[in-house]
Structure 1
Amino acid sequence: MFEIGPGKVAAKTFFDVEFPKGHVGVKSFDAELVDEEGNSVPLYEAYLHHWFAIKYHAKDWNMLKIIPKNPLEGAIYIRNEGTCNSYILPAYWGLGGESRGTKSNIPNPYAVEQGNPSYVPIGYEEKWLLNLMVIDTRGTKHRKHCTECRCNRFNLPKNFYNVTLGIDGKPLSSNYKGGIFCCQDNLQCKLKKDFEAPTRKLALRYKITWVEWNQQQIPVRFYILDSTDRVRTNGSQIIHDCQSEFTIPSNNGKKHSPPHIEKANIPIERGGYLIYGTSHMHTGVINATLYGQDGRTLYTSKPTYGDGKEPGNEKGYVVGMSGSYPKPSSIKIKDGEIVTVETRYKSGFLTGAMGHMYIYLADRLP
């Protein structure tokens, strides 16, 4: 649980969160934002920009009989099978404002294998962390712009661009108009004059379904692919350069401008049968499509926009992204196949846009 006030950003990481114990197969992982009483919070009050779960191996200090100054000393973070730079998009599960309306369940007999003791180094324990970003938009002058993390809508420190490092590890350029770096913890989106409201406590409520691991389960490998990935080679080495987010330029008020397209051609070193796929994108999305090397459509994920006020149907917000459950054996990505991730947004200035595709691949069929 965390405390947040009008216009504030909460960017938090919670370590050693509850997770199924033992050798299990995870079937689904769903989350939503709730208040202190457990009531669902609408996106127009507190926008869930993103949440994600990351696995890590922490030293078992009880076994080592040491009291550490930092319990995370020597922790090993375990990323998914995705192709991005080592520290970009490392999660196993995670979405954003579309969480309530996006399915995450994996069909039988497939599951994400976790807790296998043979994969945990001696002297370590398998643990999980949750990271989230929430923007309280109550009373803000420009609610939509706040959810896009537009830099000029926030009360940034005077030296912000000099001391804030971008995704490349260098100081942010003054041309950076918006995105996750302008939504750091405790920054303030500008409020309407004289607006006042109390702070409140919120929490990310999550639900995991799982089965005990046995010979009937077939493991799947989880990938996050990014439409900003600019793949290049250095001899035989393949280098991925994911930016995680991007800005859509202004269309200067043109009514019939073509959609903004981001496209990445990504080699998949180890392929498999496609079991499930979906995507994480923001308001303004048209769709996201994954193509095979021969141009065949592997799946398309489309948004659902809300048209009401109740949580899960907030007007103007993306409240769900469709998932794909192809017929078993119908879609297979070959080892080394170059797939294409293509994301489409409506034209018009938009900051902090994302185009992440999630796929689960299995080595075999039942």
Structure 2
Amino acid sequence: MTMTNTLSFSYMVNMRSIFKVAIILLSIMMLLFDTTHSVVLESGENHIKSATLFSEKFEVGPGKIAVKTLLDIDFPRGHIGVKSFDVEVVDEVGNSVPLYETYLHHWFGVKYIENITMSPYIKQSHDLLNGIEFERNDGACQGFLLPHYWGLGGESRGTHSNLPDPFAVELGNAANIKHGFKEKWLFSIMIIDTRGTHDRKGCTECRCKLMNLPKDFYNVMMGINGQLLSKNYKGGLFCCQDNVQCKLKNDFRGPTRKLSLRYKIRWVDWDENQVPLKFYILDSTDRVRSNGSTPIHDCQAEYTIPRNHDNDFPHVKKADIPMTKGGYLIYGTAHMHTGVVNVTLYGQDGRVLCTSSPKYGTGKEAGNEKGYLKCQFVIPNPVPSRSKMEKF
């Protein structure tokens, strides 16, 4: 008989500051009950290696949206355990770019394996249908939705993903890679240049009326369900297409510039002292149904927040997500947008397992932009030993 545990995932948003569409995801790492590794705590970080890397450059101009897939990014090689993966947007000389100029809507780090004999063709054509197999996380969402491991958005610069010893994300194990294939990573990103835009915050939330969309947009654009997008669709990912432009005020003119992602990875060489983790991406819009004892997940990734009629109470969105295996929560964080109050993960018995609370900037410098998410504080119970880890 299959035992099923249930996670409750909820978040609150301030109705006065949120826009029409919210995308709230929770990324958690957990140790499964059936792991056979022993926990040996280590002190110091001399065994940890790190590298600061840059993605290929991409070009943006005032109001322009860049939605890119950056294949085969630089990544540590060999059988390793990743301890952290942190990202920010920088300009051509490596300076951090303020969110009010260029907004990092989201970035995802996605693992895939590539047929070695197809590599020259893939590199030339960027064809993702031939010779590539995606190796998604262990979360419930399937299909093309939310396949990533690491990923955040505008809050990335101040939110760190450090995993406590002895836990790490195991990668590069040759025994787990198909013969004739090579393990690689890509970035999936959405960057929005808001210089000179009529409505900066509305542009960052992809409000359709603020975009210079093609006249036949609603006649040709397919939604997540494979059907034509409803004309009631007021904002979201489908209105933020690559090279679409947010409306500018008074025919604003400004220079184009080339940006890139600067990312820092910390890792250790894999050995018997490391304890491997599983990645689970949970979606607050997951409308779980069941077929007998089998849960059917219907992740939407985004939804429209109802009008508040000047009500100051926060709006709450909640999803109850069954898990076929229990485990220990090691680390969790949420992808947030402006207006979020907090995101909380509950266990089946109602215990709070983890809470992410945003901090908003108060200045003009990159990393402290007024009104933008500066970072988030993740507040799990401490994890000093297996006996004290939070169980699902």
Scaled by the length of structure 2, the TM-score of the pair is 0.81
- Quick one: which amino acid aligns to residue 198 of structure 1? P
- Hey, what does 1:259 align to over in structure 2? 314
Displacement of 1:325: 4.5
Report the Cα distance in structure 2 between the residues aligned to 1:326 and 1:332, rounded to whole angstroms.
Answer: 7
- Hey, what does 2:360 align to over in structure 1? 305
1:269 maps to 2:324: yes
Percentage of pairs with the same residue: 62
- Hey, what does 2:88 align to over in structure 1? 32
* Contact 1:282-1:318 at 8 Å conserved across structures: yes
Report the Cα distance in structure 2 between the residues aligned to 1:67 and 1:195, rounded to whole angstroms.
Answer: 41
CA offsets, 1:116-151, max 9 Å, x none? Answer: 111100010000110110110000011110011000
Which one has more relative contact order, counting CA pairs under 8 Å at least 6 apart?
Answer: 2
Displacement of 1:94: 0.6
* Contact 2:158-2:376 at 8 Å conserved across structures: yes
* Contact 1:7-1:139 at 8 Å conserved across structures: yes
Could you list the runs of 4 or more consecutive aligned residues of structure 1 that deviate by over 6 angstroms after TM superposition? Answer: 66-69
What is the DSSP-based 3-state SS (H/G/I as helix, E as strand, rest coil) of the residue aligned with 1:323?
strand
- 1:24–1:247 distance in 2 versus 1, CA, 3 Å: same
Aligned partner (choices 124, 136, 155) of residue 212 of structure 2: 155
Bigger mean CA offset, 316-325 vs 263-272: 316-325
- Hey, what does 1:333 align to over in structure 2? 391
- Hey, what does 1:199 align to over in structure 2? 256
* Contact 2:353-2:380 at 8 Å conserved across structures: no
1:106 maps to 2:171: no
1:131 maps to 2:188: yes
CA offsets, 1:130-185, max 9 Å, x none? Answer: 01101100000111100110000001001111211111111110011001110110
Report the Cα distance in structure 1 between the residues aligned to 2:228 and 2:161, rounded to whole angstroms.
Answer: 37
Structure 1: tracts of 5 or more residues without a match = 335-366
- Quick one: which amino acid aligns to residue 92 of structure 1? Y
Report the Cα distance in structure 1 between the residues aligned to 2:136 and 2:251, rounded to whole angstroms.
Answer: 45
Displacement of 1:257: 2.8
Displacement of 1:330: 3.1
Displacement of 1:245: 1.1
- Quick one: which amino acid aligns to residue 388 of structure 2? S
Report the Cα distance in structure 1 between the residues aligned to 2:377 and 2:218, rounded to whole angstroms.
Answer: 37
Measured on the aligned residues, the alpha-carbon RMSD in Å equals 1.6
Displacement of 1:331: 4.1
* Contact 1:278-1:323 at 8 Å conserved across structures: yes
What is the DSSP-based 3-state SS (H/G/I as helix, E as strand, rest coil) of the residue aligned with 1:193?
helix
- Hey, what does 2:76 align to over in structure 1? 20
* Contact 1:79-1:91 at 8 Å conserved across structures: yes
Report the Cα distance in structure 1 between the residues aligned to 2:105 and 2:347, rounded to whole angstroms.
Answer: 30
- Hey, what does 1:324 align to over in structure 2? 379
- Hey, what does 1:57 align to over in structure 2? 113
Displacement of 1:273: 1.1
What is the DSSP-based 3-state SS (H/G/I as helix, E as strand, rest coil) of the residue aligned with 2:196?
coil
CA offsets, 1:82-103, max 9 Å, x none? Answer: 1113321110001000001112
Scaled by the length of structure 1, the TM-score of the pair is 0.87
Displacement of 1:326: 2.6
1:169 maps to 2:226: yes
Q: How does 1:85-104 map to 2 (within 5 A)?
A: 85-104=142-161
Paired residues in the alignment total 330
- Quick one: which amino acid aligns to residue 94 of structure 1? G
Report the Cα distance in structure 2 between the residues aligned to 1:220 and 1:233, rounded to whole angstroms.
Answer: 27
